[in-house]
A and B are shown apart, each in its own frame.
Chain A
Amino acid sequence: MLKSETKLILEVCDLHANVEDQPILNGVNLQVYAGEIHAIMGRNGSGKSTLSKVIAGHPAYKITGGTIKFEDNNLLDLDPEERARLGVFLGFQYPIEIPGVSNLEFLRVSTNARREYEKKEELDTFEFEDFVQEKLKIVKMDPAFLNRSVNEGFSGGEKKRNEILQMALLEPKLAILDETDSGLDIDALRVVAAGVNKLATPNTATILITHYQRLLNEITPNYVHVMANGKILKTAGKELALQLEKSGYDWIEQISSNKEENQ
């Protein structure tokens, strides 16, 4: 791929972040160009979710160094809602339940917030119903879920489908999917993967955070990164995932600690 011709969507430079004075991210570097799919792997607790939440603007994390550029915007200057309107989307590892707030209304308000930024016309209740019906097909979700409270009482898999539904409605430029495949049975996994493939375009980019090769069989990444201790230790092509599946993470961490000692 000729990078000079494609557009840089996300550029994370030497990113450091703390939670309650505890460093979690220790200098992350990452560049994502339009049309690319990146996979981020790594042990539990290595900082993958933190990285995704920091990109989306979660207030619990304090940025202690580095920058995040999204197209021409300095993301760290923006509120989470502004980032979302620009086209940053985070599919949560643990989507939260919001009792009392109708899923349909929530989806409509958020879709319109994004559309307003894109200078597309606002969808009224009826137009939105049609629009959402289209998108429900992509994730093969039962329309009955629209009339419930946001994620309330949804099973793990239903929550994940609701995340992909939101992604389909919001049409983001950058989608970060944090373990969207965890806890899904193989059929659900295929549905989610098909949804992601369908929504990926040459102008958008996707970051998949996952532990499993089975997702990457369905969605082929251009790059695979391995995270450990709040840093990206290694980056390679899709074959890295296969290697990790076979040999685990030890060898990479070994190599990298040797490297550090030599420096």
Chain B
Amino acid sequence: MTGQNTVDKLVSKPYKYGFVTDIETEKIDKGINEDVIKLISRKKDEPEFLLEFRLRAYKQWLKMKEPNWADLKYPKINYQDIIYYAAPKKSEKKASLDDVDPKLLETFDKLGIPLSEQKRLSNVAVDAVFDSVSIATTYKEKLAEHGVVFCSISEAVVDYPELIKRYLGSVVPISDNYFAALNSAVFSDGSFVYIPKGINCPMELSSYFRINSGDTGQFERTLIIAEERSSVSYLEGCTAPMFDTNTLHAAVVELIALDDASIKYSTVQNWYAGNEEGVGGIYNFVTKRGHCRGKRSKISWSQVETGSAITWKYPSCILQGEKSVGEFYSVALTNNLQKADTGTKMIHIGAQTRSTIVSKGISAGKSSNSYRGLVQIGPQATGARNYSQCDSMLIGDQASANTYPYIRSQQPQSNVEHEASTCRISEDQLFYLQSRGINFEEAISMMVSGFCQDVFNQLPMEFAAEADKLLALKLEGSVG
């Protein structure tokens, strides 16, 4: 049918961030074993306790099996064919930005994340991670005035070993799942945030993850601790060059909110997705979990997932503190042959805990997009409430969408509401907009951003516009 072809003309625009930085890199040999883990630990001058943590995780991992329950089919990953540590040379000590290789600064400029004093964003502090290491963190001093710690996790291990000992692995235990165990064994770098009691972090914090090497896995680790009555908003962005091989990314993010603390964690994930035939792209297997330990604490996840060949990701909240609140707002867009299996888990433990889930999946091309969510209400969670809304939008007739909402309640005095819908952008809707002078791409993007509005409203201001543009770009195609 001729009409369908119009919709099929949607193809991804060339990926804007696909360039490779030509920089001398120090890499270790491929493969994983105890010696490799010891080597990584030594390179990072880590204290003994962390090496033990890694080795324990490695032993666990060896006993575990790669999960296969998600709606994801991909060729077997050869874990001995991956490099577990790569760092730009001469990055060992980074006393100040002046010591950072100009090529790296240039790379982040090109990515729209300028780091130098003159050009850096005025209201956002950035931790820039390149392959396995953090190369710079801006506004550290200004944040320190408020007692806020924002640095790479490698630095935190040395400077705040007590906090690391206490909290690392406390939300996502090393044996939690296959990819979390692997991450715990070989994690390289990532961000560490500590907000002291009673402090509202004075600026947005942000980490930007850049994969540069094609054969290197990225295993970042992020830990955010919000003490009583504190609050923070944290953004995460990520891109990678275009390689025709698949790169593994297995991150772990742990959030801890104590009494009356609130953490807002937003992600725009734009890893390379592979080409139209599905060659190349990032395998994105991520474990993100927040622990509302304190009373009336709040953890809010917002994510805009547009990249990666495969996404496996379920940012979750453990609602332990009485009256604590968990939120999950997600837009996941897949195109061409991308596959995404994403959602959340809301584990209600404490009394009168509340959670909200809003998920918007958009599938175009031949992609597949699944929402998988669990709402669990424990026996102590009297008066717990959940509201879930999962909407799918299909573009064209070759894409697929699935919804798997699991609800387990052991508490009769709780209230769980679930709504779901699926719609397809119809040719007649497109034609209606076009017949009023609106071009094809703009018509699609109007409908998509209308569909995602509930989620975009949750993103930090600068980010929302960015996300809108990103979606439009992802769907933009050559209309003949």
Interface residue ranges, A against B (CB under 8 Å): 20, 53, 56-62, 79-81, 83-85, 89-90, 92, 95-96, 98-102, 105-106, 109-110, 113-114, 117, 149-150, 166, 170
- The CA of A79 and the CA of B2, in the complex, are separated in Å by 14
B242 nearest CB across to chain A (Å):
31
Question: Once the chains bind, are B437 and A81 in contact (CB under 8 Å)?
Answer: yes
Given contacts A81-B439, A81-B440, A99-B423, contact A57 B434 (CB under 8 A): yes
Interface size on B, residues (CB 8 A): 28
Q: Does B25 make an interface contact (CB < 8 A)?
A: no
Report the nearest A residue to B446, measured CB to CB: A101
Known interface pairs A58-B435, A60-B1, A99-B450; 15 further A-B residue pairs with C-beta atoms within 8 A, sorted by A's residue number: A20-B1, A57-B434, A81-B438, A83-B435, A84-B435, A84-B436, A84-B437, A95-B432, A98-B429, A98-B450, A101-B450, A105-B446, A106-B436, A109-B438, A113-B439
Question: Once the chains bind, are B447 and A84 in contact (CB under 8 Å)?
Answer: no
24 contacts between A and B (CB under 8 A): A53-B431, A57-B434, A59-B6, A59-B427, A59-B431, A60-B1, A60-B3, A79-B434, A80-B431, A80-B434, A80-B435, A81-B438, A81-B440, A84-B434, A89-B435, A90-B435, A96-B428, A98-B432, A98-B447, A99-B423, A99-B451, A106-B438, A114-B437, A170-B436
How many residue pairs bridge A and B at CB < 8 Å? Answer: 91
Q: Which residues of A contact B426 (CB under 8 A)?
A: 96
Residues facing A in B1-38 (CB within 8 A) are 1-3, 5-6
Q: Does B442 make an interface contact (CB < 8 A)?
A: yes
- Tell which of B427, B435, B446 has the most Cβ of chain A within 10 Å: B435
B454 nearest CB across to chain A (Å):
9
Report the nearest A residue to B431, measured CB to CB: A58
B345 nearest CB across to chain A (Å):
28
- The CA of A102 and the CA of B433, in the complex, are separated in Å by 12
- Tell which of A53, A57, A89, A100 has the most Cβ of chain B within 10 Å: A100
- The CA of A100 and the CA of B455, in the complex, are separated in Å by 13
Question: Once the chains bind, are B436 and A110 in contact (CB under 8 Å)?
Answer: yes
Question: Once the chains bind, are B429 and A96 in contact (CB under 8 Å)?
Answer: yes
Q: Does B478 make an interface contact (CB < 8 A)?
A: no
Question: Once the chains bind, are A110 and B437 in contact (CB under 8 Å)?
Answer: yes
Q: Which residues of A contact B438 (CB under 8 A)?
A: 81, 106, 109-110, 113
- The CA of A99 and the CA of B391, in the complex, are separated in Å by 13
B480 nearest CB across to chain A (Å):
9
Q: Which residues of B contact A89 (CB under 8 A)?
A: 435
Q: Which residues of A contact B435 (CB under 8 A)?
A: 56-58, 80-81, 83-84, 89-90
- The CA of A98 and the CA of B435, in the complex, are separated in Å by 14
- Tell which of A105, A110, A114 has the most Cβ of chain B within 10 Å: A110
- The CA of A61 and the CA of B427, in the complex, are separated in Å by 12
Report the nearest B residue to A61, measured CB to CB: B2
Q: Which residues of A contact B432 (CB under 8 A)?
A: 92, 95-96, 98, 150
Interface of A is mostly: mixed
Q: Which residues of B contact A58 (CB under 8 A)?
A: 3, 431, 435
- The CA of A99 and the CA of B450, in the complex, are separated in Å by 8
- The CA of A150 and the CA of B436, in the complex, are separated in Å by 12
- The CA of A53 and the CA of B450, in the complex, are separated in Å by 26
- The CA of A60 and the CA of B427, in the complex, are separated in Å by 8
Question: Once the chains bind, are B450 and A59 in contact (CB under 8 Å)?
Answer: no
Q: Which of A62, A90, A106 contacts B433 (CB 8 A)?
A: A106
Question: Once the chains bind, are A113 and B450 in contact (CB under 8 Å)?
Answer: no
A191 nearest CB across to chain B (Å):
21
Q: Which residues of B contact A102 (CB under 8 A)?
A: 450
Closest 9 CB pairs of A and B: A100-B450, A113-B437, A110-B436, A84-B437, A80-B434, A60-B3, A101-B450, A59-B3, A81-B434
B439 nearest CB across to chain A (Å):
5
Q: Which residues of A contact B427 (CB under 8 A)?
A: 59-60
Question: Once the chains bind, are B436 and A98 in contact (CB under 8 Å)?
Answer: no
- The CA of A62 and the CA of B1, in the complex, are separated in Å by 9
Q: Does B64 make an interface contact (CB < 8 A)?
A: no
Q: Which residues of A contact B434 (CB under 8 A)?
A: 57, 79-81, 84
Q: Does B453 make an interface contact (CB < 8 A)?
A: yes
- The CA of A129 and the CA of B59, in the complex, are separated in Å by 66
Q: Does B62 make an interface contact (CB < 8 A)?
A: no
Q: Which residues of B contact A98 (CB under 8 A)?
A: 429, 432-433, 447, 450
Q: Does B420 make an interface contact (CB < 8 A)?
A: no
- Tell which of A60, A105, A113 has the most Cβ of chain B within 10 Å: A60
Q: Which residues of A contact B479 (CB under 8 A)?
A: 79
Q: Which residues of A contact B5 (CB under 8 A)?
A: 59
Question: Once the chains bind, are B437 and A85 in contact (CB under 8 Å)?
Answer: yes
A168 nearest CB across to chain B (Å):
13
Q: Which residues of B contact A150 (CB under 8 A)?
A: 432
- The CA of A80 and the CA of B5, in the complex, are separated in Å by 15
Q: Which residues of A contact B437 (CB under 8 A)?
A: 81, 84-85, 110, 113-114, 117, 170
B358 nearest CB across to chain A (Å):
14
Report the nearest B residue to A85, measured CB to CB: B437
Q: Which residues of B contact A53 (CB under 8 A)?
A: 431
- The CA of A90 and the CA of B432, in the complex, are separated in Å by 9
Report the nearest B residue to A109, measured CB to CB: B438
Question: Once the chains bind, are B440 and A60 in contact (CB under 8 Å)?
Answer: no
Question: Once the chains bind, are B439 and A62 in contact (CB under 8 Å)?
Answer: no
- The CA of A57 and the CA of B279, in the complex, are separated in Å by 36
